[in-house]
Structure 1
Amino acid sequence: MGDVVPFQRPAKKRPKQGLCQHGYHKWTVVKDTEFDSKQGKLVTRYQCQRCGKQKVEAR
């Protein structure tokens, strides 16, 4: 008679950036304050903690 192999359920695969893929980023302010010469305004840079995507907002 052969060896008995224990049954294991496959692990659920989750994407690393599941929320970011659907537009739910976790934005944090990058501490560098920059001046945009084209717009003539101060701009604030944001970076997502999960995926690293950046966005810029002018004030």
Structure 2
Amino acid sequence: MSNVLPFRKPRAPKKGLCQHGFHRWKVVKETVFDTKEGKLVTRFQCERCGKTKVEAK
């Protein structure tokens, strides 16, 4: 008889915590002035996935 090897389903690549909304935000530029809004803007970028967000003060 031959040896029977167990079949495993290939796993999808793991995206980490960012997939569930737990980003690790890092400040890209601290003081940027937005001319349309007339406010100071802080830009953040996630260290894990690279997503960016903007926060106006």
**When the two structures are superposed, what TM-score results if normalisation uses the length of structure 2?**
0.71
Q: CA, structure 1 residues 31+16, in 2 after alignment: closer, same or farther (shift >3 Å)? A: farther
The count of residues paired between Structure 1 and Structure 2 equals 53
| Alignment of structure 1 residues 1-59 onto 2, 5 Å | 13=11, 15-59=13-57
Report how far residue 47 of structure 1 moved.
Answer: 0.3
Question: Gapped runs of 5+ residues in structure 2?
Answer: none
Tell me the C-alpha RMSD between the 2 structures.
2.3
**When the two structures are superposed, what TM-score results if normalisation uses the length of structure 1?**
0.69
List structure 1 segments (4+ residues) > 4 angstroms apart after TM superposition: none
Separation of aligned partners in 2, 1:16 and 1:57: 29
Question: Gapped runs of 5+ residues in structure 1?
Answer: none
* Percent identity of paired positions between Structure 1 and Structure 2: 66
| Partner secondary structure for residue 22 of structure 2 | coil
